[in-house]
Structures are given as structure tokens and as C-alpha cells.
Structure 1
Amino acid sequence: MPKRIVSVSIGSSKRNSRAEFSLEGLPDTFVLERIGTDGSWEKAIELVRKLDGQVDAFGLGGADLYVWAGKRRYTFRDSARMAAAAEKSPMVDGSGLKHTLERNAVRLLDPQIRWKGKKVLVPSALDRFGLAEALDAAGAEVIYGDFIYALGLPFPIRQLAVLRLCAYILMPLITQLPFKWLYPTGEKQEKQILDWRQKYFQWADVIAGDWHFMRRYMPQDMRGKVILTNTTTAEDLEFMRARGVKTLITTTPRISGRSFGTNVMEAFVVALAGKYPLSEGEYLEYIEKLGLKPQVTELS
């Protein structure tokens, strides 16, 4: 029987997919599925309860269970309800893999991107603190856009220390809010908003992080820009080409025409390891073993 990994996502069902594959050197076949519930937490919880014990690992998609700031971890109330429904099969949200895989990707991409002095927009940094720290360490000029894109406030953060301090103060409150107030879910993921927030895309050389924030606010003219993200479909690539995006770099591999989210790939690693939780060192070990490296696609 193949090992089955299912990502239950609060996102749009239009992005549902399924892929079956095997990797050289591994005895098992793997099935990766992504099932969207169009913004319904109740449908997601019901689906998790139905599949619990029948899958090797769950991914929690379209939302975060945890976010990190430095060494502190914060848990979203809505996501915790969904995770509690998985009593037999482990559920991960990708935060463990983000912290290691994306940090590693910045290091590996330095010969190509030359991060020092590069202008980088991270629309949502608190769900990718490892990426934020790696870009800062590499010497990039970064705008962390959490206030801008999650809260709609015109306050760009330009220093990692300020981002960390804001997280310490605000995250205990923010994680108790309905997740849909903070992040596009369901059909909102398909809607574009073209407003004052476009100017930060125009400022940047590289836009890095969450694809749905990028797609939602991306201006029509993206000529010469580099996108560093994951969870992209063939339709997303055409969306980027139509706007003139120069290069797409995904931190997760493309399988059956799309790059799956970090929650799916973390669930894949957990299923492969046969245990949970995994330490940061164990994640790094599997990243090395599986050869998970950034994939570069030239679009124009």
C-alpha cells in the first residue's frame, strides 16, 4: 500500500490535486493529495475526522497552526481546533520545514541572486521567520509586509528586530482572531486587489514568501522581477508570465506539474520518517537525503 499524505486546506477547492510517485532509493510509493474546503473550517474538521487513522500524515493547508518569532511559538486558535481533530494521524502545517528548508534555500541561492543589497519584499514574514532571518543575515534590503498585507496598514517594517518586537507584542492577540481576517481563504484566494500596496512590489527586485499574498496584490507589470515561493500550479505560472515575471524559484519540488505547499512536503517527510515530531536536525537530514533544493524556472 502506498503511503498517503493528505493536505486538508481552508483554501479554494479549485486548486485540488493528487499525485502518486516514487523516489529512487525509497521502497515506498507515495500519494500526495490536496483537498480544499473553500474557507469552511467545519468542513475541514469533518474531513480530518473522517480520514484520521487512514492517512500516514495530514498537512494543514491554507492556514498556519504555528508561527515563530525568535524562539517563541504562537498557536492560531482556529487552526488548533482543526489539529485537535487528528487524534491518530499526525498533522503538520509546514512551519517545521519552512524554518529549515527556506533558510537553506536562501543560502543555496546566494551565488545566483547575490542577496547583499538586493531589494526583497516579504509580504508575510511572521509565518516564515526562518526566511526572514536568512535574508537579513545574507545582507538583503528587506521590507517585511505583515502590517501592509495582513492588516492593511501602511507600515513597512525594515528591520528584523522591529519585526520580532512587534510579534512579541501583537501575536498573543492576533492568533486569537478569526484566521480569515488575516489571510485570504476560499474564493478570496482568486480575487485580486490592485491598490496602494502595489508600490512595494514595484520597489522590490525579489518577492519572497507566501504565494497567495503575492497573487492577491501583484501589479500588472512585473517585468524583471524574481518570485521565490511554493504552492504554484501551471495556471499560476501563466499568471506570472502574463505579468512579465522574469524568474520563478520554488523551494519545494514540482510534482505532476505543480509545487506542493510546505505543509504537504513536511507531512511527506513525517510519513517517510514514520515518527513525529522531528527535530530541526532531522528535518535538515531529510532535506539533504531527498535532495530538496530550490527549483528555478525562467518565465521570460
Structure 2
Amino acid sequence: MPKRIVSVSIGSSKRNSKAELSIEGLPDTFVLERIGTDGSWEKAIELVRELDGKVDAFGLGGADLYVWAGKRRYTFRDSARMAAAAKQSPMVDGSGLKHTLERNAVRVLEPQIHWKGKKVLIPSALDRFGLAEAMSEAGAEVIYGDFIYGLGLPFPIRQLPVLRLWAYILMPIITQLPFKWLYPTGEKQEKQVLDWRQRYFRWADVIAGDWHFMRRYMPPDMQGKVILTNTTTEEDLEFMRSRGIKTLITTTPRIAGRSFGTNVMEAFIVALAGKYPLSEQEYLGYIEKLGLKPQITELS
């Protein structure tokens, strides 16, 4: 029997997919599945209860369970309700893998990208604090867009310590708010918002992080830009080509025509390891063992 990994996502059901994966040197095959509930937390919780104990690991998709700022971890109230429904099968949201995989991707990409002085926009840095730290350490000129894209406030943050300070102040409050106030869920993931926030995309050489934030606020002309993200479908690639994006870099491998989210890949590693939680060093060990490296696709 193959090991089964299911990502239960608050996102759109239009992005549902299923793929079987065999990796040379591993005895097991894996079925990776993504099921969207179109923004319904109640459907997601019901689905988790139904599948609990029947899958080897759950991914929590379309939302975060945890976000990090420095060494502090904050838990979203809505996501915690969903995670609590998994009594037997472990549930992960990708945050453990983001912290290691995406940080490692910045280092691996240095010979091609040369980060020092590159203008990088991270629309939601608290969702990917490891990526944010790695960009800063690599010498990129970064705008952290959490106020701009998460809260709709025209305050670009350009220094990592400032982002960390605001996180310490605001995250205990923000994580108690309905998640849909902070992040596009369900049908909202398909809608575009063309307003003042486009200017930061025009400023940047590279836009890095969450694809749904990018797609929602991306201007029509993205000629020559580089996108660094993870979850993309063939439809997303066509969308990028229509905008003139030069290069797509995904931090997770493309399987059956799409790159799966970090929550799916983290659940895959947990199922492979047969235990949870895993340490940062254990994640890094599996990243190396599986050969998880950034995949570069030239679009134009």
C-alpha cells in the first residue's frame, strides 16, 4: 500500500490535484493529494475528521498554523481548530520546511542570481521568516510587504529588525483574527486587485514568497521579473507568461505538472520519517537525501 499524504486546503477546489510519487532508493510509493474547501473551515475540519487515521500525514493548506518571528512562534486561532481535528495522523502546515528549504534555496541560487543589491519584494515575510532572514543575510535590498499586502497599509518595511519588532507587538493580536481578513481564501484566490500596491512589484527585480499574494496584486506588465515561490500549476505558468515574467523558480519539485505546496512536501517528509515532530537538522537531512533543490523554469 502506498503512503497517503492529503493536503486539506482552505483554498479553491479548482486547484485540486493528485499524484503518485516513487523515488529511487525508497521502498515506498507515495500518493500526494490536495483537496480545497473553497474557504470553508467547517468543511475542512469535517474532512480532517473523516480521513484521520486513514492517511499517513496531513498538510494544512491555504492557511498557516504557525508563523515565526526570530525564535518566537505564533499560532493562528482558526488553523488551530482544524489541526485539533487530527487526533491520529500528524498535521503540518509547511512552516518547518519553509524555514529550512527556502533558506537553503537562497544559498543554492547565489551563483545564478547574485543576491547582493538585488531588489526583492516579499509580500508576506512573516509567513516565510527563514526566507526573509536569508535574503537579508545575502545582501539583497528587501521590502517586507506584510503591512502592505496583509493589512492594506502603505508602510513598506526595509529592515529585518523592524519587521521582527512589529511582529512581537502585533502577532499575538493578529493570530486571533479570522484568517480570511489577512489572506485570500477560496474564490478570492482567483480575483485580482489592481491598486496602489502594484508599485512595489514594479520596483522589484525578484518577487519571493507566497504565490497567491503575488497573483492577487500583480500588475499586468511584469516584463523581465523573476518569481521565487513554490505552489504553481500549469495555469499559473500561463498567467506568468501573459504578464511577461522572465523566470520562475520553485523551491519544491514539479510533479504531474505542478509544484506542490510546502505543507504537502513537509507532510511527505513526515510520512517518510514515520515520526513527528522533526528537528531542523532532520529536515535538512531529508532535503539533502531527497535532492530537493530549486527548479528554474525560463518562461520568456
Q: What TM bracket, shorter-length normalisation?
A: over 0.9
Write out the 4+ residue segments of structure 1 that deviate beyond 3 Å after TM superposition: none
Mapping of residues 14-163 of structure 1, within 5 Å: 14-163=14-163
Aligned-residue sequence identity (percent) comes to: 90
Q: Which residue of 1 aligns with 2:255?
A: 255
AA matched with 1:224: G
**How far off its partner does 1:278 sit?**
0.1
Q: Which residue of 1 aligns with 2:208?
A: 208
Which SS does the other structure have where 1:156 is aligned? coil
What is the rounded CA distance, in whole Å, between the counterparts of 1:229 and 1:196 in structure 2? 23
CA displacement 1:209-248 (0-9 Å, x = unmatched): 0000000000000000000001100000000000000000
Stretches of structure 1 lacking an aligned partner (at least 5 in a row):
none
Mapping of residues 137-286 of structure 1, within 5 Å: 137-286=137-286
What is the rounded CA distance, in whole Å, between the counterparts of 1:124 and 1:114 in structure 2? 22
What is the rounded CA distance, in whole Å, between the counterparts of 2:55 and 2:222 in structure 1? 40
What is the rounded CA distance, in whole Å, between the counterparts of 1:3 and 1:271 in structure 2? 7
Superposition TM-score, scaled by structure 2 size: 1.00
Q: Between Structure 1 and Structure 2, how many residues are aligned?
A: 300
**How far off its partner does 1:21 sit?**
1.7
**How far off its partner does 1:261 sit?**
0.3
Stretches of structure 2 lacking an aligned partner (at least 5 in a row):
none
Superposition TM-score, scaled by structure 1 size: 1.00
AA matched with 1:206: V
CA displacement 1:171-215 (0-9 Å, x = unmatched): 000000000000000000000000000000000000000000000
What is the rounded CA distance, in whole Å, between the counterparts of 2:27 and 2:136 in structure 1? 40
Which SS does the other structure have where 1:11 is aligned? coil
CA displacement 1:66-114 (0-9 Å, x = unmatched): 0000000000000000000000000000000000000000000011000
RMSD over aligned CA atoms reads 0.2
**How far off its partner does 1:258 sit?**
0.1
What is the rounded CA distance, in whole Å, between the counterparts of 2:57 and 2:133 in structure 1? 29
